[in-house]
Amino acid sequence: MTQKISTLLAQAGNRYDAKTGAISAPIYQTASFGHPALGQTTGFDYSRTSNPTRLILEETLAKADGGHRGFAFASGMAAIDTVLHLFQKGDRLVVTEDLYGGTFRLFEKVFRPYGIEAIYVDTSDLAVVRGALKLPGVKAVFVESPTNPLLKIADIRAIAAAARELGILTIVDNTFLTPVFQRPLVQGADMVVYSATKYLAGHNDVVAGMVVTGNSELSERIGFFQNAIGGVLGPQDSWLTLRGLKTLPLRVRKQQENACGIADWLISHAHVRRVYFPGLANHPGRQIQDREGSGYGGMISFEVDEASRIPTILAGVKIFTFAESLGGVESLITYPAVQTHADMVVSVRERLGINDRLLRLSIGIEDMGELIEDLKGVL
């Protein structure tokens, strides 16, 4: 990629419409496309297969991630669901144990009955991952890094290298860091998935998912499933996601700057027992992240000393919104045990550290001092 990512994204969709010169890519709100003649096509036939507005978004993210092709879906779950259709009965996947609850539910409630099995491991432990990759039937490793909500860091480069040697696919959910801070395909992964609802779109106003593939063979297969299953993103939301991408570098850098300050403040608070943030000097994954990525993101989790504080905190915050989701310009606070990870078995959740004293923050682009004041008021 010759251009800097900020240049690429600011210019996304520009110079597309040669007929009018429109700076902003048109929203092609059309289901179908006329054919010039029998046996001829403009390249577009039916919008489930391909739509020009969606294609601009898909091409932009593929470039940003250094990948081969991009694919946009109706939600992050639709994106992951489509990817999992690559596998067949009897196939097994090595999966990050503290992963997003919706992905966990998809593996357990939807794909396990079809005979596709997830083996959950701590992907921040390379030796454990290497061991699991050798289990019979393993066809892929599905990594979230940093994980949700405990922000554990996996060594994606080392995992991808080990998987490649065994002919195993590496799939990375890059929702938390985005191509601005981490580009797994460049580190050797085969595929990247996103909930584009989060940082990519960035304004808490779109639900969308994306996949970027690393080679033409995977592109062909994912393209086939995208069209065959049909969980595609509509033109309006594609356009709005593209509009969000234009300010992605600005937003995530500001969110990270705010998150660093807030994490430092939380550490020294008397009622905070533990802070999870990859940018902290003593975070176990900090070294890997410094070597492999270019940032820590804007997500923080922290444990308070007593669960009885939680209702007061959630009811009392004024700038933070108590809501699920993350990655928007507005700061959000989430209670993982009852919101994002409610589908996880309680004993597993507790063992992972997702207990009833844990809160997760998605830091926005507001003034850092005021976000700290807001937390100070309720802690």
Partner 1 sequence: MNYATRLIHSGKDRDPYTGASSIPIYQASTFHQADPEHLGHYDYARSGNPTREALEQAIASLEGGARGLAFASGMAATSSVLMLFSPGDHLVVGQDIYGGTFRALTTLFRQWKLEVTFVDSTDPTSVRKAVMPATRALFVETPANPLLAITDLRAMVEIAREYKLLAITDNTFMTPYFQRPIELGFDIVVHSATKFLGGHSDLIAGLAVTREAEVGHRLKVVQNTFGAILGPQDSWLLMRGIKTLGVRMEAQQRTAGVLAQWLVNRPEVKRVYYPGLTRHPGHDTHQAQASGAGAVLSFELQDVATALKLLKGVKLPLMAVSLGGVESILSYPATMSHAAMPKAERLARGISDSLVRLSVGLEAPEDLMADMAAALKKS
- Distance of CA 338 to CAs 7, 318, 334, Å? 40, 21, 9
Cβ atoms of 124 and 153 closer than 8 Å: yes
How many helical (H) and strand (E) elements, i.e. helices and strands, does the chain have? 14, 12
Q: If binding is defined by CB under 8 A, does position 377 make contact with partner 1?
A: no
Q: Work out whether strand 299-304 and strand 272-276 pair parallel, antiparallel, or are unpaired.
A: antiparallel
Buried b (16+ CB within 10 A) or exposed e, 265-288: bbeebeebeebbbbbbeebebbeb
The answer for 230, left when phi > 0, alpha when psi is -120 to 50, beta otherwise, is: left
Which residue, 297 or 328, has its beta carbon nearer to partner 1?
328
Query: Of 16, 28, 100, 335, which residue is the catalytic one?
Result: 100
Establish whether 130 is a catalytic residue: no
Report the side by side order of strands in the sheet with 358-362.
272-276, 299-304, 358-362, 332-334, 321-322
Q: If binding is defined by CB under 8 A, does position 3 make contact with partner 1?
A: yes
The only residue of 249, 278, 285, 295 in contact with partner 1, by rule CB under 8 A: 249
Establish whether 190 is a catalytic residue: no
Q: If binding is defined by CB under 8 A, does position 24 make contact with partner 1?
A: yes
Q: If binding is defined by CB under 8 A, does position 372 make contact with partner 1?
A: no
Establish whether 125 is a catalytic residue: no
Map residues 321-340 to x or -, x wherever contact with partner 1 holds by CB under 8 A.
x-x-x--xxx-x--------
Q: What is the dihedral of CA 278, 281, 285, 287, to 10 degrees?
A: 120
User: What's the rounded Cα separation, in Å, for the pair 245 and 63?
Assistant: 12
Which residue, 14 or 49, has its beta carbon nearer to partner 1?
14
Q: If binding is defined by CB under 8 A, does position 75 make contact with partner 1?
A: no
Establish whether 100 is a catalytic residue: yes
Query: Of 63, 198, 251, 357, which residue is the catalytic one?
Result: 198
Within 10 angstroms of residue 144's Cβ, the number of other Cβ atoms is 24
CB of 272 to partner 1, least distance (A): 23
Which residue, 69 or 254, has its beta carbon nearer to partner 1?
254
**Residues that bind partner 1 in the complex, under the rule CB under 8 A:** 3-4, 6-7, 9-11, 14-15, 21, 23-24, 203-205, 243, 246-247, 249-251, 254, 319, 321, 323, 325, 328-330, 332, 364-367, 369-371
Catalytic residues: 48, 100, 173, 198
